[in-house]
Amino acid sequence: MSTFTTTVETPPAAPARPAYRVTGRRVVASEWAKLWSLRSTWITLGLGLLFLIAFGLIAANHYKSGIGSAHQDRDFATATAVSLSLFGTNFAQLALGVLGVLVTAGEYSTGMIRSTLAAVPRRLPVLWSKAAVFGLVALIVGTLGAFIAFGFGGSIVSGTPAAMSLTHTGVVRSLLGAGLYLGLVGVIGTALGALLRSVAGGISVLVATLMLIPGLISLLPSSWQDGVSPYLPSNAGESVFALTHDSTTLSPGAGLLVFLGWTALALVGAAYRLVRSDV
């Protein structure tokens, strides 16, 4: 009589997957990758840079062609190389602000925000990372465009009353201020997109805040304008990069504080809705 013993081989255990932690650095890296994976990012940033440089050069050429002419615009009579070079800031802010709205509201329109918040359940790090990443990108693009526009625009108006160089008082501060202003506009756009969760709604509020409301305020009595106009987001931001100031405008420091206040208000509103509301 014989006994047979059957040996059953146990398959090797699968290696355990490493436990991934959600950290601020990884959330920022994720938002950075998502930002540059969109074609609209490259197109809109390119348009913002183009607007800033192109309109600055157009303004400088227009100024130079009108020197000695009786038909020169009154707005250009006291222009400087800085003001001419930064003439395109109003157009660049629209491109960068709109892209900021798309960074957040675009995820709500496609439904991708559900995957994002599932990966980061605490939610608020997503908002801070989006705002920080795009704000930094807008700051770099705005500063680069401001210095390029001044370099070419300054050479165009060289030898005219508007001629200035980087060594003139306030020039570097104005160019850096323009970049900072555009960076904060990008952050405001990001906050509006998260607050309203609508691309159309975010862009509408952004355009109204930066361009339409200042025009409506100009219809008020002058005594009211002096008390309200300097504290509007666009006017406070403009004082940050303006080379000269008068009694109707804020100083660069005060303008920056006011504009930072508007930026913080938009972020607080976006954070409150992100925490309190379902996706």
Angle of helix 24-36 relative to helix 39-65, nearest 10 degrees, comes to 70
Q: Would you say residue 189 lies in a domain?
A: yes
What is the pLDDT, as a whole number, of residue 5?
A: 52
Residue 189: what pLDDT? Answer: 96
Torsion angle in degrees (nearest 10) through CA of 191, 192, 193, 199:
-160
pLDDT tens per residue across span 164-206:
989 999 999 999 999 999 999 999 999 999 999 999 999 999 9
Query: Could you report the per-residue pLDDT of 102-138, keeping only the tens digit for each?
Result: 999 999 888 888 888 888 888 899 999 999 999 999 9
CA–CA separation, 148 and 197 (whole Å): 35
Q: Rounded mean pLDDT of the chain?
A: 88
Q: How many CB atoms lie within 10 A of CB 121?
A: 9
Q: Quick one: pLDDT at residue 53? A: 96
Looking at per-residue confidence, does 1 or 174 come out higher? 174
In a domain, 244, yes or no: yes
Q: How much is the pLDDT for 244?
A: 85
- 13 lies in some domain: no
User: Does 3 fall in a domain?
Assistant: no
Q: Is residue 224 part of a domain?
A: yes
Contact yes or no for 147/66 (Cβ under 8 A): no
Give the residue ranges of DSSP H helices in 197-232: 199-207, 213-217, 222-228
**First-to-last C-alpha distance (Å) of the chain:** 73
Q: Which domain holds residue 222?
A: 24-65+73-276
* pLDDT at 225 (0 to 100): 78
Tokens of 75: 């707005």
Q: How many domains does the chain have?
A: 1
Asked if residues 232 and 259 have their Cβ atoms less than 8 Å apart, the reply is no
pLDDT at 162: 87
Q: Report percent pLDDT > 70 for the chain.
A: 89
> Which of residues 152 and 11 earns the better pLDDT score?
152
Q: What is the mean pLDDT of residues 67-85?
A: 77
Distance of CA 257 to the CA centre of its chain: 17
pLDDT category at 15 given cuts 50, 70, 90 is low
Kindly list the distances between the CA atom of residue 176 and the CA atoms of 86, 149, 179, 230, 278, in Å, as whole numbers in the listed order: 11, 13, 5, 21, 39
Indicate the DSSP class of residue 12. Answer: P
Say whether 112 sits in a helix, a strand or coil. coil
Mean per-residue pLDDT for 38-42?
Answer: 90
Q: Is pLDDT at 9 greater than 60 in this prediction?
A: no
pLDDT of the residue at 1: 46
Query: Is 12 among the domain residues?
Result: no
Residue 163 — very low, low, confident or very high, per pLDDT cuts 50/70/90? confident
Lowest mean pLDDT, pick from 6-15, 53-62, 67-76, 161-170: 6-15
Q: Is residue 216 part of a domain?
A: yes
The amino acid at 222: S
Confidence category of residue 265, pLDDT binned at 50, 70, 90:
very high
Evaluate whether residue 18 is within a structural domain: no
Judged by average pLDDT, the poorest of 30-34, 67-71, 150-154, 218-222 is 67-71
- Helices (H) and strands (E) counted in the chain, each on its own, are 12, 0
Tokens linked to 36: 């540059």
Statement: residue 3 has pLDDT above 60: no
Least confident of 121-125, 140-144, 260-264: 121-125
**Is the confidence at residue 101, as pLDDT, over 70?**
yes
